[in-house]
Chain A
Amino acid sequence: KAGVTQTPRYLIKTRGQQVTLSCSPISGHRSVSWYQQTPGQGLQFLFEYFSETQRNKGNFPGRFSGRQFSNSRSEMNVSTLELGDSALYLCASSSGRVGSTDTQYFGPGTRLTVL
Chain B
Amino acid sequence: QKEVEQNSGPLSVPEGAIASLNCTYSDRGSQSFFWYRQYSGKSPELIMFIYSNGDKEDGRFTAQLNKASQYVSLLIRDSQPSDSATYLCAAGAGRRALTFGSGTRLQVQP
Which of A's residues lie within 8 Å of B, judged by CB?
A: 33, 35, 42-43, 45, 48, 55-56, 58, 88, 90, 98-109
A106-B45 CB under 8 A given contacts A101-B32, A101-B51: yes
CA distance A58 to B42 in the complex (A): 23
Summarize B's interface: helix, strand, loop or mixed: loop
CA distance A45 to B94 in the complex (A): 16
A33-B97 CB under 8 A given contacts A42-B103, A101-B32, A103-B49: yes
Given A42-B102, A90-B44, A104-B34; 15 other pairs, CB 8 A cutoff: A33-B97, A33-B98, A42-B101, A43-B103, A45-B98, A55-B95, A58-B97, A88-B43, A100-B92, A101-B49, A102-B32, A103-B34, A106-B44, A107-B43, A109-B43
CA distance A88 to B95 in the complex (A): 25
Q: Can you report 14 A-B residue pairs in the complex whose CB atoms are below 8 A from each other?
A: A35-B100, A43-B44, A43-B88, A56-B95, A58-B97, A88-B43, A98-B94, A100-B51, A102-B32, A102-B92, A104-B98, A106-B36, A106-B45, A109-B43
Q: Could you say which residues of chain A place their CB within 8 Å of the CB of B66?
A: none
The answer to whether B46 touches A105, judged by C-beta atoms less than 8 angstroms apart, is yes
Quick check: is B70 within 8 A (CB to CB) of the other chain?
no
Look across to chain B and name the residue whose beta carbon is closest to the beta carbon of A94.
B98
Q: Could you say which residues of chain A place their CB within 8 Å of the CB of B97?
A: 33, 45, 48, 56, 58
Q: Which of B32, B45, B51, B95 has the most CB of A within 10 A?
A: B95
CA distance A88 to B93 in the complex (A): 25
CA distance A14 to B16 in the complex (A): 47
